Chain A
Amino acid sequence: MQKQLLLGDEAIAQGALDAGISGVYAYPGTPSTEITEYVQHSKEAREKNLHCTWSANEKTALEGALGMSYSGKRALAAMKHVGLNVAADPFINSAITGANGGLVVVAADDPSMHSSQDEQDSRFFSKFAFIPTLEPGNQQEAYDMTRYGFDLSEKYRVPVMLRITTRLAHSRAGVQRREVNAENQISLPENPRQFVLLPANARKQYKDLLKKQAGLEQESIESGYNTYTDAADKKLGIVACGLAYNYLMENFADRKVPHPVLKISQYPLPRPMIEKLFNECETILVLEEGQPLVEEQLKGYLSKGLHIKGRLDGTLPRDGELNPNIVAVALGLPNTEGAPVPEIVASRPPSLCRGCPHIDTYNALNQAIAKYSPGRVFSDIGCYTLGALPPYNAINSCVDMGASITMAKGAADAGLFPSVAVIGDSTFTHSGITSLLDAVVDKSPITVLILDNLTTGMTGGQASHAEGRIEAICRGLGVEEDHIHVLKPLPKQHEANLEVIARELEYRGVSVIIPRRECIQTLNRKMRAKFKNKEKGN
């Protein structure tokens, strides 16, 4: 079979398909989105009728995957790093229940925050949960390790985390596929109490989980994904985790490093391999993408004994993703750099598209709220977060999915009136519904704008669970009918929209305003497809 050119994300999806999954569960989030999209576009997945529709959020996604695992089938859950925060409850507890059918959870981290609000390292989460972790360094490993992850999960009856970062998720290279496994048959857990985490059961299950750790460490030693390459110059020993291994190798044209190198791609850490490096080398350099998890473990709290270099002592930058140049400097090799960026080059930040409905909404909101003191608009995660930038300067917060409504409520509780929330349709159904319920129960004087562009825009236009349901959800939660308004965000509707927003800002209860117009990107895509079909018809 010829090699296929796949993104890291796509290699994971193909690996999962070939491992015989029965479903993927996910909510879109950069850099993890393309995993699920690949399955959605896969002919094989369609033929097998695998589950691949989007979930409301990462928590419901992981719970769905856990249910599939309970039934004995293999399931993949995929999310970005901050999505794992949302799914933290099922993630930690799925380690205690354990898996039945193979369960692999992909956490896609975003060091350097290319498209995120933080750069948390998911390996801390899996260590905390006692969940074994695989960290592929290239696209082929992403494919192979996904398959291996399912086997490992079933062998030890634990969920397995696959940790990747943006650079691998969104980089393409050749991948060799292997044979395709059939799906598992339904087979419920042998122990009917395995998934019942009543304290008495949970205590037992937790002890079992701890007992599994020795076996899991043995796997880390024997699987072949952690490798020790000896070399003559033992003044330095190098630990290179995941992608960092590539940046190390890039600095040696013949791919021969003069120092012993321990490549880490599987956790828990293989203690004997690390010990060998410690015993034989004077100094240890730890290269890892993300936060200094391995470095902290090796260093210990008091940092006594062998000298450990890495992100904590300034050998490498404390934050941001690595690259070949940063690693060169850490190795004491000469750095390379071309000409500096000419001063004339202006920054070009992302911006709302021309014709975007959010522009019209922000123009109306800005005018309506101008008569009050500034700093009253709490916003959320999505394209509309770009409203924080000029020329709009329209919003004052962006924290986590759904925070807009609850923060507006908290500010209103503190006495800020009017207090406004701006949230997108998909973000609202992800995590805003319970926030709005809090506001309704307390009769909080807030105005909530649910910007409905009929899609999940920022990640590229995936289906939104909110479509056709927002008014009914708001009514169901108890928002008063008279204070639910649907607007058409268009320049010609500006005066009418302004009037509605201005009026509701003054209402001392919960108002919901829904500016509704389709995302210009998905609309253009549809129009192009329609035009194409028409041409074909002729």
Chain B
Amino acid sequence: MKNDIILAGVGGQGILSIAAIIGLAAVDMGMHLKQAEVHGMSQRGGDVQSHLRISDEEIASDLIPKGCADMIISVEPMESLRYLPWLSPDGYVITNTTPFVNIPNYPEIGKVLDIVQQQPHYVMLDCDTMAKELESAKSANMVVLGAASPFLCIPFERLEAAVAKLFGKKGDAVVALNIKALNAGRQVALNSK
């Protein structure tokens, strides 16, 4: 039982919260974990990625070998494509469709989404709009995590419990909103499966 996951996005989009939730759930299950993060200069509005590995056996490398990732979870559509060299042939691309445009040469979004749709396995969803509709605009990252949840080796209740643990300090209302966002994303993935 293992998942090798590339988390992708732009600095400040909350990919580390996604990592923290999967990590909390995995450790609660007694699994091994390694998670390589990006800190420092590259964080300033640049592309960021995290290699997250969970396994019931000991993990050797902090980095996932190319061509071996089970999934790419991306908070930004173009960023989901940047890490295709790491994705295994039967791996999943799970991505938000709302672009984060902070460069002048951002490609036409239609073309980006076309390429996502050419992948053998993908889930695409507009996490930003879904989060806004739930009146929780900041929870777009939870929506995309929810969409990834059917493909994780972690039971969904464990993820919900981890969300409650991570956001517990911020109060019940925040926890409830994030769990709602998580469920909304999961439904999209289950319906498209």
* Residue positions of A touching B, CB distance < 8 A: 3, 5, 7, 30-31, 33-34, 114-115, 167-168, 170-174, 243, 246-247, 249-250, 255, 323-325, 328, 335-342, 344-353, 383, 386, 458-460
Contact = CB atoms under 8 A, between A and B. Distances in A.
Interface string B18-46: 00000100010000111111111111111
Contact of B44 (A3, A173, A340, A353): A353
Contacts of B102: 348, 351
Given A342-B84, A348-B10, A172 B61 contact: no
B87 to A, nearest CB: 4
A414 B58 CA distance: 60
A324 B51 CA distance: 13
B81 A250 contact: no
A246 B67 CA distance: 18
B187 interface: no
Nearest to A9: B39
Interface of B: 10-11, 23, 27, 32-47, 58-69, 78-79, 81-82, 84-89, 91, 102-103, 105-107, 111-112, 115, 119
A337 B23 contact: no
A172 B24 CA distance: 12
B21 to A, nearest CB: 12
A247 B61 contact: yes
Contact of A340 (B65, B85, B112): B85
A338 B91 contact: yes
Contacts of B11: 350
Contacts of A459: 40
Nearest to A322: B63
Contact of A342 (B45, B46, B47, B81): B81
Contacts of B39: 30-31, 33-34, 115, 170, 460
A336 B88 CA distance: 9
Nearest to B78: A345
Pick the 8 closest A-B CB pairs, nearest first.
A30-B40, A336-B67, A115-B40, A350-B46, A249-B60, A350-B44, A250-B61, A324-B65
A342 B108 CA distance: 13
B45 A350 contact: yes
A353 B45 contact: yes
A170 B48 CA distance: 13
A348 B62 CA distance: 24
A336 B68 contact: yes
Contacts of B41: 30, 114-115, 350, 458
B10 to A, nearest CB: 7
A345 B62 contact: no
| Residue among B41, B66, B102 with most chain A CB within 10 A | B41
B82 A341 contact: yes
B37 A171 contact: yes
A459 B39 CA distance: 8
Contacts of A172: 23, 33-37
A363 B85 CA distance: 39
A34 B37 CA distance: 12
Contact of B33 (A170, A174, A351): A174
Given A247-B60, A341-B84, 18 more contacts: A3-B27, A5-B27, A5-B33, A114-B40, A170-B37, A172-B34, A246-B60, A246-B61, A323-B63, A324-B65, A344-B81, A344-B111, A345-B81, A346-B105, A347-B103, A348-B47, A349-B46, A353-B45
A352 B44 contact: yes
B63 A167 contact: yes
A174 B27 CA distance: 8
21 contacts: A5-B27, A5-B33, A33-B39, A115-B42, A171-B34, A172-B37, A173-B33, A243-B62, A250-B60, A323-B63, A336-B65, A338-B86, A339-B84, A339-B87, A341-B85, A344-B115, A345-B78, A348-B102, A351-B44, A351-B46, A460-B39
A102 to B, nearest CB: 28
A324 B115 contact: no
Nearest to B51: A171
Nearest to A113: B41
Contact of B36 (A30, A170, A247, A336): A170
A459 to B, nearest CB: 7
Nearest to A381: B41
Contacts of A249: 60-61
Contacts of A348: 10, 45-47, 78-79, 102-103
Q: Which of A340, A342, A353 has the most CB of B within 10 A?
A: A342
Nearest to A4: B27
A442 to B, nearest CB: 33
A339 B36 contact: no
Given A7-B37, A34-B39, A255-B60, A336 B82 contact: no
Nearest to B115: A342
A171 B59 CA distance: 13
A458 B33 contact: no
A338 B23 contact: no
Given A174-B32, A346-B106, A350-B42, A338 B37 contact: no
Nearest to B47: A348
Contacts of A115: 39-42
Contacts of A33: 39-40
Nearest to A385: B41
Contacts of B89: 338
A109 B141 CA distance: 32
A341 B72 CA distance: 13
A325 B66 contact: yes
A346 B77 CA distance: 12
B44 A324 contact: no
B65 A350 contact: no
A336 B23 CA distance: 26
B67 A345 contact: no
A349 B40 CA distance: 13
A8 B11 CA distance: 21
A174 B67 CA distance: 26
Nearest to A255: B60
Contacts of B111: 344
